[in-house]
Amino acid sequence: MILKGLEINTMGVNCYIVGCEETKEVAVIDPGGNPRGIVKLLEEEGLTAVYIINTHGHIDHIGGNRGVKEATGAKVLIHEGDAKMLVNPVSNFSLLMGSKVTSPAADQLLQDGDVIKIGNTVELEVIHTPGHSPGGICLKTGDIIFVGDTLFQGSIGRTDFPGGSHTQLIKNIKERLLCFDDEVVCYPGHGPATTIGFERQYNPFL
């Protein structure tokens, strides 16, 4: 499996490029900014972006959608619960930060349990984990989960934004993520990677 990570924009968002070694088709997960840099990496590696997948609709995770889509033609995928954030600068909080940033509307709305196929070898299972946002998702393939802003190393996503719920987030982490083996690696939207086992044992929120 192809797996590359970039830390982008001033909020240190982790953008991941995930895909099939055979076909060189990839998904770009959370292009929160720097679309030129993302496209440059794709070109240098000979990769074809077929999907842009947002783990949720906040501006720091969708800010590069438009540039990447215009350069590659990739389809934008997001959970239906956050779809309006793509096109609404109030909902995605960009207006609050002094700008009006929007993304192209979703080409496909995701639901819990959906499987996104990339090339011949990669399948991403959608796990709906609301709490940080209504449409927050994680994406699991094998022993890897891209957890967005649901879970961080030693912490969890903020729940004080509109649409957030601390109770809901904790419930979803415990029931939908901690059910996996300790060795499963979690790649978060911010900060370093961690494992289910580490968070099970040391995360003070859990």
**For the segment 105-118, what is each residue's pLDDT rounded down to a tens digit?**
999 999 999 999 99
Q: Range of 155's domain?
A: 2-202
CATH number of domain containing 50: 3.60.15.10
Domain count, the chain: 1
| pLDDT at residue 68, as a whole number | 98
172 vs 9, which has greater pLDDT?
172
**For the segment 40-82, what is each residue's pLDDT rounded down to a tens digit?**
999 999 999 999 999 999 999 999 999 999 999 999 999 999 9
| pLDDT at residue 96, as a whole number | 81
Overall average pLDDT of the 186-197 stretch: 98
Is residue 136 very low, low, confident or very high in pLDDT (cuts 50, 70, 90)? very high
User: Does 83 have pLDDT greater than 90?
Assistant: yes
- In this structure, what token pair is assigned to residue 37? 């840099």
For residue 58, how many C-alpha atoms fall within 13 Å in the half-sphere facing its CB? Answer: 22
| Percent of the chain residues topping a pLDDT of 90 | 94
Q: Are 132 and 150 in contact (CB under 8 A)?
A: yes
User: Does 154 have pLDDT greater than 90?
Assistant: yes
pTM of the predicted model as reported, rounded to 2 decimal places: 0.97
Q: Are 52 and 82 in contact (CB under 8 A)?
A: no
User: Does 99 have pLDDT greater than 90?
Assistant: no
Overall average pLDDT of the 23-32 stretch: 98
User: Does 10 have pLDDT greater than 80?
Assistant: no
Please give the single-letter amino acid code of residue 48. T
Overall average pLDDT of the 172-177 stretch: 98
Q: Are 35 and 68 in contact (CB under 8 A)?
A: yes
| pLDDT at residue 196, as a whole number | 98
Overall average pLDDT of the 108-133 stretch: 98
| Percent of the chain residues topping a pLDDT of 70 | 100
Which residues, at least 6 apart from 179, have a Cβ–Cβ distance to it below 8 Å?
none
The size of the chain, in residues, is 206
